[in-house]
Amino acid sequence: MTELAELPPWAALLIAFFLLLGASLTLLGCIGLLRFKTFYQRVHAPTLGTTWGAGGILIASMIFFSMVQSRPVLHEILISVMVFVTTPVTLMLLARATLYRDRAEGMSGVPSLDTGSTGDEATDSTYPTQRS
């Protein structure tokens, strides 16, 4: 832990700030996941963790390792880009599955994008089928 003692105070403060920010946002996201009531509301909470939650921790990591190794350590940017790009995939998968179930069960309050068609037809026709 000698590296920690050698850090200048301003860097230590900055690292602590971002680390705490990221960690508390991730925690709030988890609490939100527990406390929100419907599925569609719950889906919003974890995005706190994947945006500034992860972002804060990664910024802290970037500053810390750049200071300790005295060279810019930037590969954390890649992590945040990958997280940002892959979140919609899981989210859409979950949301579409729930939407499909809700429509099949005839739940109220779930709007349809098509005029009149529901269930299987709606799901089939909503895949982006553009060809290039």
Partner 1 sequence: MRRLLPYPLLTASLLLMWLLLTRFSVGQILLGLVIALAASRVMGALQPAKPRLRRWIKIPSLTWTVFGDILKSNIAVAGLVLRGGSGKARSGFVVVPLELRDRTGLAILACIITGTPGTAWIEYNAASGKLLMHVLDIDDEERCVAQIKQRYEAPLMEIFE
The full DSSP string for 52-105 is IIHHHHHHHHHHHHHHHHTS---THHHHHHHHHHHHHHHHHHHHHHHHHHHHHT
Q: What is the smallest separation between the CB atom of 90 and partner 1, expressed in angstroms?
A: 9
Cβ pair 112, 118 in contact under 8 A? yes
Site for partner 1 in 29-48 (CB under 8 A): 29, 31-32, 35-38, 40-41, 43-45, 47-48
Site for partner 1 in 66-125 (CB under 8 A): 71, 74-75, 77-78, 84-85, 87-88, 91-92, 95-96, 99, 109-111, 113-114, 125
Q: What is the smallest separation between the CB atom of 71 and partner 1, expressed in angstroms?
A: 7
Q: Which C-beta is closer to partner 1: that of 48 or that of 60? A: 48
Q: Give the containing element (helix H, strand E) for 39.
A: helix 39-42
Q: Which C-beta is closer to partner 1: that of 4 or that of 126? A: 126
The angle subtended at Cα 115 by Cα 111 and Cα 120, nearest 5°, is 75
Q: What is the smallest separation between the CB atom of 3 and partner 1, expressed in angstroms?
A: 19
> Would you count residue 22 as binding partner 1 (CB under 8 A)?
no
> Would you count residue 50 as binding partner 1 (CB under 8 A)?
yes
Backbone φ and ψ for 30, nearest 5 degrees, come out as -70, -40
